[in-house]
Amino acid sequence: MSDVTIPPSDSLAVLEKQRSTAETFGIPLAVLLEITHRCPLQCPYCSNPVELDRSGKELTTDEWKKVLSELAEIGVLQVHFSGGEPTARKDLVELVKHASDAGLYTNLITSAVLLTRERLSDLADAGLCHVQISFQGIEEGLADRVAGYKGGHRKKLEVAKWTRELDLPLTVNAVMHRQNLHQLPDIIQMALDLDADRLEVANVQYYGWALKNRAALMPTVAQLEECTGIVETARERLKGRLTIDYVVPDYYALRPKKCMGGWGRQFFNISPAGKVLPCHAAESITGLDFESVRSNHSIAWIWQNSDAFNRYRGTGWMKEPCKTCEFREIDFGGCRCQAFALTGDAANTDPACALSPLHETIFKQAEAEAAGETSRFLYRNFAGGTLESENGT
């Protein structure tokens, strides 16, 4: 049996992946639906864009239903309901029901703080297949401070318990960074205590909000090595009991990550306003025009033909050192959003790659930040962010 598995940040794969070359791409197996950017939490590493979509721009219930039907028709198998906080949408149960009826495998990626037991039960009845709850730490002091939301941690524990009582499979998603990496062993134990099936140990990826907060979040090399060791030991110990997926930050790597499996090859997501995007950070790249599901085009057409997807698809767009690099079809030059954020040109080599002329500078900078004193967060919100007060509130 071949196991087509993908790190959570690149959460998709094509079944044809063994045969694929740079220029081939199928319809993604799974699609991320960011149904709203509204969220009661203010995590400083939020993967949403810094420019958030306001509720007035969000697709309507009928528009999302049409999207779900269309996705099932073209061969998408899984949908992830995400956000923002997806449970902030009043029509979530209706959307999950519609997706299930269309034959889609449905996954809820939630902060959990807005859920009641009754609503979770309604979601289960609507056919929800899997619940993923984010945790910011092991105890409420740190966890609530990271989330910028008092009482959040306690509520998450409660919802995780309900999830298992309702016989829904549970993934604990732990976003890791310098200020909570020391809690990793306890987080693994928490996942076991919560009877989770799966744990995602996801180191922060530094774009958007997280890039603004890099100095407060970047781990040290030593921390990261310890973290990797802990994950490897736990994986062996908990085989068959708890699946652990692990995402490392790429700053300390020599080779960049194959971001999204390559631009426009295995993944797209749909933003609250209906934009079809090659990744959830893609709107941070200026000069690209993303088509919307509200346009006259089908989703399949947008995926296959739109300029934004074709701009960095395959290898034809590459410059040196990517252009002649033997790894160009292995990692596709890393992450376009990171290349844009750190070099000003998305077609440059991702500086996470040791072959990038900027690699050394960035590595040094990250190392210096990791050793620095900064621990104050810039909280994520619609106002462009709020700096944490000196005493941590």
Partner 1 sequence: MAGPRNISVSGASRPVLPRHAKLRYDETRKVWVILAPERVLAPDEIAVEVLQLCNGERNVGDVADQLAAKYAAPREAILVDVIAMLQDLADKGFLTEIREKTS
Instruction: Give 80 or 359: the residue with its C-beta nearer to partner 1.
Output: 80
Q: Is the distance from CB of 206 to CB of 218 less than 8 angstroms? A: yes
Instruction: Give 32 or 277: the residue with its C-beta nearer to partner 1.
Output: 32
Using CB atoms within 10 Å of the CB of residue 161, give its burial: 0 to 12 exposed, 13 to 18 middle, 19+ buried: middle
Instruction: Give 33 or 362: the residue with its C-beta nearer to partner 1.
Output: 33
Query: Least CB distance from residue 73 to partner 1, whole Å?
Result: 9
Whether omega for the bond prior to residue 84 falls within 30 degrees of 0, making it cis, is yes
Q: Is 19 in the site for partner 1 (CB under 8 A)?
A: no
Q: Is 4 in the site for partner 1 (CB under 8 A)?
A: yes
Query: Least CB distance from residue 111 to partner 1, whole Å?
Result: 18
Q: How does strand 130-135 pair with strand 170-176?
A: parallel
Gap between the Cα atoms of 310 and 48, Å rounded: 23
**Cβ neighbours for 7, distance < 8 A, ≥ 6 positions apart:** 245, 246, 247, 257
Q: Is 27 in the site for partner 1 (CB under 8 A)?
A: yes
Q: How does strand 386-387 pair with strand 243-247?
A: unpaired
Q: Is 5 in the site for partner 1 (CB under 8 A)?
A: yes
Of residues 135-164, which lie at the interface with partner 1 (CB under 8 A)?
Answer: 164
Q: Which stretch binds partner 1 (CB under 8 A): 12-20, 206-214, 224-232, 270-278?
A: 12-20
Gap between the Cα atoms of 108 and 243, Å rounded: 18
What string of DSSP letters covers 25-63? ----SEEEEE-----S---TT-SS-SSPPPGGGSPPHHH
Gap between the Cα atoms of 208 and 217, Å rounded: 13
Instruction: Give 16 or 307: the residue with its C-beta nearer to partner 1.
Output: 16
Q: Is 75 in the site for partner 1 (CB under 8 A)?
A: yes
Query: Least CB distance from residue 31 to partner 1, whole Å?
Result: 13
Residue of 120, 168, 308, 362 interacting with partner 1 (CB under 8 A): 168
Gap between the Cα atoms of 44 and 376, Å rounded: 10
Residue whose structure tokens are 């090859």: 265
Instruction: Give 173 or 356: the residue with its C-beta nearer to partner 1.
Output: 173
Q: Is 78 in the site for partner 1 (CB under 8 A)?
A: yes
Query: Least CB distance from residue 248 to partner 1, whole Å?
Result: 17
Query: Least CB distance from residue 154 to partner 1, whole Å?
Result: 24
Q: How does strand 243-247 pair with strand 105-110?
A: unpaired
Residue of 37, 65, 98, 130 interacting with partner 1 (CB under 8 A): 130
Q: Which stretch binds partner 1 (CB under 8 A): 103-111, 141-149, 270-278, 342-350?
A: 103-111
Q: In a 3-state reduction of DSSP, which class is residue 227? A: helix
Instruction: Give 86 or 219: the residue with its C-beta nearer to partner 1.
Output: 86
Of residues 186-245, which lie at the interface with partner 1 (CB under 8 A)?
Answer: 197-198, 239-243, 245
Gap between the Cα atoms of 30 and 18, Å rounded: 18
Query: Least CB distance from residue 104 to partner 1, whole Å?
Result: 9
In sequence order, which ranges of 102-148 are alpha helices (DSSP H)? 117-125, 140-147
Binding site for partner 1 (CB under 8 A): 1-6, 8, 11, 13, 15-16, 26-27, 29-30, 74-75, 77-78, 103, 105, 107, 129-130, 132, 164, 167-169, 171, 197-198, 239-243, 245
